[in-house]
Structure 1
């Protein structure tokens, strides 16, 4: 039996990455005189990756990485107005409404009565804001906001919740963060791909007997029943 089901938040329950890509396009337009869009995006990605250990995941780190990239690309000549617009872009992202993805409410309705745990990562304040705005908090027995989704981090969550890894299933849009670490612990990993996923979250799917993939979250309840019945 599956004792508990973990669900990712960003791009599994609600839209997230698409807002980063829209902001990225505006950022490229701001710096159009200093390089082609693809070159600016590549440099921004490199800066983001380097800054993850400093700022972690989320909008605030993204905002600081945009500022740093603008300074680098202009050799320090970026003007205050441009920096101000970059900060405005970040604030607009932080104020964006939370839009649930198709199938989410139907999935949660069908999973009612099961032990659900929301496991996300990123900036604490922003994640708490989105969880509250989503209206979904009461659907979950527990909410965990992690700095990083590693096997060790998942292990600590399961230990605190008293859940054996082999009786735990995690579903999310990131093969790297939501699926592979749980498989390594001995749990079930369900990949729910989103049409827009940050490059840093990409990973090759392992050949693993407990890996599954679904197209939308509302396919999850049926999958869980098939797993428990030995048919999936």
Structure 2
């Protein structure tokens, strides 16, 4: 029995990228710690982290998601915390930490490659990710997963309308689609609202901005421990 015959109504499976297919938040946390150390003479670490998070959220509408916006938010936070007295040497170090993040090798998460390879035999696979276009393209190329996807969509935000548009554009209605990701807020809830299935794959380090209430009473919502459980889940959807 093929995977497709086990769930005949499912034709398309879409995946988030950061912290679903490869590590991402881990490198932001490391950089946050470096940033707090740089400004240790001006404020406590928790206060610096809170101010940085506030700046990130405030700047999303201007810079979007990704490392470049994060770097600009660090610079803004450094200026604010030091009352415009931040040394140029500190700003230089902040810029270098941003470049280090952009140069960091991609670390694919467990079970990802073999799961995508097997599912690609029976389903149309899409990558739907938000963030900086240049950085997302870099990570996809380095991951070695690009050839397994039938389509790649890099968007500024994930909303119900985003999923409806993308699934329809790839000749698959939301009702015949599934979205898999580590963010309830961005990957699961809007996909469910669009009419597709939503599969939540928790990651130990999910950005607080992406937290949301689990839709436990929604029959199209599913949760798996890791990507290796996805094929089993699909085979049970009869």
1:146 aligns with 2:155: yes
Question: Which aligned pairs between 1:124-135 and structure 2 lie closer than 5 A?
Answer: 124-135=133-144
Task: List gaps (5 residues or longer) in structure 1.
Answer: none
Give the Cα separation in 2 of the matches to 1:172 and 1:124: 19
CA RMSD of aligned residues (A): 0.7
Aligned length: 228
Deviation at 1:109, TM superposition (A): 2.6
Q: 1:121 aligns with which of 116, 130, 139?
A: 130
Question: Which aligned pairs between 1:1-232 and structure 2 lie closer than 5 A?
Answer: 1-113=9-121, 114-206=123-215, 207-227=217-237, 229=238
Partner SS for 2:76: helix
Give the Cα separation in 2 of the matches to 1:53 and 1:109: 36
Give the Cα separation in 2 of the matches to 1:106 and 1:22: 29
Give the Cα separation in 1 of the matches to 2:61 and 2:54: 13
Contact 2:164 2:173 in 1 (8 A): no
Deviation at 1:85, TM superposition (A): 0.0
Give the Cα separation in 1 of the matches to 2:117 and 2:149: 12
Give the Cα separation in 2 of the matches to 1:195 and 1:54: 28
Partner SS for 2:198: strand
Deviation at 1:156, TM superposition (A): 1.1
Contact 2:163 2:174 in 1 (8 A): no
Task: List gaps (5 residues or longer) in structure 2.
Answer: 1-8
Deviation at 1:31, TM superposition (A): 0.3
Give the Cα separation in 1 of the matches to 2:117 and 2:156: 29
Please report the TM-score for the alignment, with normalisation by the length of structure 1. 0.97
Deviation at 1:222, TM superposition (A): 1.3
Q: Residue by residue, what CA displacement relative to the aligned partner does 1:188-220 show, whole Å, maximum 9, x if unpaired? A: 000000010000000011231100000111111
Give the Cα separation in 2 of the matches to 1:103 and 1:165: 26
Q: Residue by residue, what CA displacement relative to the aligned partner does 1:108-138 show, whole Å, maximum 9, x if unpaired? A: 1321312100110000010001011111100
Deviation at 1:34, TM superposition (A): 1.2
